[in-house]
Amino acid sequence: MAVSAKDFEWSNLDQDHQIRSVLDLFSELPFFELLTYSELDKLEHIVHIRTFGPGETVIRAQAPRLGMYVIQSGAVHVVRRGRDEDSIIVGTLLPGELIGEFSLLDSSPRSSGMVAAEFSTLIGFFQPDLMSLIDTDPNIGFKILMPLTQIMAQQHRRDMQDLRSLRRQLQEYDKTQNTISTAEQ
pLDDT given at position 84: 67
Reference 47, options 117, 140, 139; nearest CA is 140
- Chunked mean pLDDT (size 10), the chain, 185 residues: 44 46 88 91 91 91 81 92 75 89 73 90 90 92 89 85 90 79 69
pLDDT given at position 75: 96
Sign of the CA dihedral 170, 172, 175, 179?
negative
Q: Rounded to an integer, what distance in angstroms lies between the CA atom of residue 85 and that of residue 117?
A: 20
Alpha helices by DSSP H, the chain: 15-18, 22-27, 37-44, 127-136, 138-184
pLDDT given at position 161: 92
Tell me the Cα Rg of the chain: 22
**Total number of residues shown for the chain:** 185
pLDDT given at position 9: 42
Q: Are strands 76-81 and 113-116 parallel, antiparallel or unpaired?
A: antiparallel
Q: Rounded to an integer, what distance in angstroms lies between the CA atom of residue 109 and that of residue 27?
A: 29
pLDDT given at position 56: 93
CB atoms within 10 A of CB 80: 14
pLDDT given at position 153: 85
pLDDT given at position 150: 87
Q: Rounded to an integer, what distance in angstroms lies between the CA atom of residue 78 and that of residue 14?
A: 28
- Domains in the chain and their CATH numbers? 14-184 (2.60.120.10)
pLDDT given at position 15: 42
For residue range 116-151, what is the model confidence (pLDDT) as tens digits?
999 999 999 888 888 899 999 999 999 988 988 888
Sign of the CA dihedral 26, 28, 29, 34?
positive
pLDDT given at position 20: 67
What b/e readout covers 41-76, taking b as 16+ CB neighbours within 10 angstroms?
A: eebbeebeeeebeeeeebbebeeebbbbbbbbbbbb
User: DSSP label at 13?
Assistant: T
pLDDT given at position 154: 87
pLDDT given at position 19: 54
Q: Are strands 98-99 and 67-73 parallel, antiparallel or unpaired?
A: antiparallel
pLDDT given at position 106: 73
pLDDT given at position 120: 95
Q: 77 φ, ψ to 5°? A: -85, 140
